[in-house]
Amino acid sequence: MTEELLSLPVPTVPAGERGVAWLRANVVRFSNGAEHVRRRALTTKLIENVTTLDELARALGLPGSLDDIARIAPCYQPHEPITAEADAAVERLAGSHDEETAARIGLLVQAWAATHALAKNLEAGDPAPPVPITRRATSNGVIEVSLENHPFGFGAHACPGRELGIRIAKNMAFRAMHRQDEPLVLPNAWDYTSAAALHAAGFKAIGTTSLGVAATHGIPDGMGLAGAQATALAALLKDLPCPVTVDLESGFGQDPAELVAGLDAAGVNLEDGRPHGLAAPEEQALIISRVKERAPGVFLNARIDTHWHGVAIEETEERARRYVDAGADGIFVPGLTEPRDIEKLARLAPLNVLAQQRTPKELGNLGVKRISTGSLLFRAALRHAVATAEAVRDGEPVGKVFGCAEVQELI
């Protein structure tokens, strides 16, 4: 029934020559029939591989326009009143009053509204659609139709920018999760089902573990050999309804900037460890700056492997400063447990540490913004699998496990 209602025409809007009224009257969102088909062809020329609204605005020929877009968005829907500020904002952006201009402005307005709403829901772990209802015209007047099961519309009026909007919203939400009072507890998955199960358990974002991914495929970790497997998993996880961050080791011997730009992920881990030591800090800083130029919306967590190599905290801090100056959004120091060192590094950027004896609240009080499980969950699952097999062999009770139907439901 909902799909039938969503297939009805959208309510017509009055003609307008300037401001928001002109914009409404010339965009695909509020048109039907041949006009809708023609305008949709303009709108569907979406820009690929953008990771922020700023990038989208530049690609649409509207650089620096997001403040004006934010003024227009609350008045865009025909049932909302138009403010003088919104009209003035449209005129500043329009230049000429043709359909292509309206398509570019309308696309950015819709992207702005949808991504902000969806990002807010993702931050809260709320599965609600970014826009809860839409309106359709019937012989008895205009009705409201729920978008609960079709969050980006259905049929002729389905949103053409769905994938782009979801990607930007996940990027926005993941970044915001590093600014909350309580640290983000980030579990690390090694395949699709482990990630889906963790999301179903209520975790708002999921990471991957390089050891888990490599070991699952019989490949040693940290040697740069599991790139195909890591990127294949990232491609599977892009459709999870939450932000995902991907462990890329040191880039698997590829150009990290191109590698990150080609992923549909909200974040990445890039480490300065190499198979036989540490990269020079200036080399790693250059890699970070190139990645951020290519994919500015992706949260780059700069992993510093000094603790694994017994290097003093002073060099760790110096590397952290270099990486943050180069554009890193966060820093990750595996093995960091000393409170004074944690507090010192937490002043530089959102700090990520591995799960340890301290509670999330205790680590948050030290300034930590993210707690990763690393390979812990994979190793625990491996141990539990062996223990379960041993219990079967020895005639002992088997602990609680997922049912077959529960696993099917996750997939």
User: What is the rounded CA–CA span in Å between residue 15 and residue 394?
Assistant: 79
Structural domain includes residue 399: no
Q: In a 3-state reduction of DSSP, which class is residue 318?
A: helix
Where does residue 236 rank: exposed (0-12), middle (13-18), buried (19+ CB within 10 A)? Answer: middle
Q: Is 116 within 8 Å of 175 (Cβ atoms)? A: no
Q: Do 12 and 145 sit in the same domain of this protein?
A: yes
Q: What are phi and psi of 173, to 5 degrees?
A: -65, -40
pLDDT of residue 249: 96
User: What is the rounded CA–CA span in Å between residue 328 and residue 8?
Assistant: 48
pLDDT of residue 40: 84
* pLDDT tens for each residue of 150-179: 888 888 888 878 888 999 999 999 999 999
Q: Count of H helices and E strands in the chain?
A: 18, 13
Q: Do 245 and 275 sit in the same domain of this protein?
A: yes
* pLDDT tens for each residue of 22-41: 999 999 889 999 998 888 88
> Of 168, 198, 224, which closes a domain?
168
pLDDT of residue 8: 85
pLDDT of residue 131: 83
Structural domain includes residue 79: yes
Q: Do 7 and 51 sit in the same domain of this protein?
A: yes
Q: Do 157 and 182 sit in the same domain of this protein?
A: no
Q: In a 3-state reduction of DSSP, which class is residue 277?
A: strand
* CA trace torsion 55, 58, 64, 68 (10° rounding): -90
Structural domain includes residue 221: yes
Phi-psi region of 7 (alpha: psi -120 to 50; beta: other; left: phi over 0): alpha
The enclosing domain of 253 has a CATH number of: 3.20.20.60
User: What is the rounded CA–CA span in Å between residue 32 and residue 98?
Assistant: 18
Tokens of 397: 């009770």
User: What is the rounded CA–CA span in Å between residue 5 and residue 7?
Assistant: 5
pLDDT of residue 46: 61
Structural domain includes residue 154: yes
pLDDT of residue 129: 84
Identify the bridge partners of residue 142 per DSSP, sorted by sequence position: 137
Global pTM reads 0.93
Under-70 pLDDT residues of the chain: 45-46
Structural domain includes residue 306: yes
User: What is the rounded CA–CA span in Å between residue 350 and residue 60?
Assistant: 32
Give residue for tokens 């904002």.
89
Q: Is 147 within 8 Å of 108 (Cβ atoms)? A: no
Where does residue 5 rank: exposed (0-12), middle (13-18), buried (19+ CB within 10 A)? Answer: middle
Print the SS3 string covering 135-187: EEEECCEEEEEECCCCCCCCHHHCCCCHHHHHHHHHHHHHHHCCCCCCCEEEC
Tokens of 16: 């307008």
Q: What is the rounded end-to-end Cα distance, in angstroms, of the chain?
A: 26
Q: Do 158 and 61 sit in the same domain of this protein?
A: yes
Structural domain includes residue 392: no
Q: Is 325 within 8 Å of 285 (Cβ atoms)? A: yes
Q: Do 22 and 124 sit in the same domain of this protein?
A: yes
pLDDT of residue 371: 98
Q: In a 3-state reduction of DSSP, which class is residue 328?
A: coil
Q: For the chain, what is the domain count?
A: 2
Residue 89 is part of which domain span?
A: 2-168
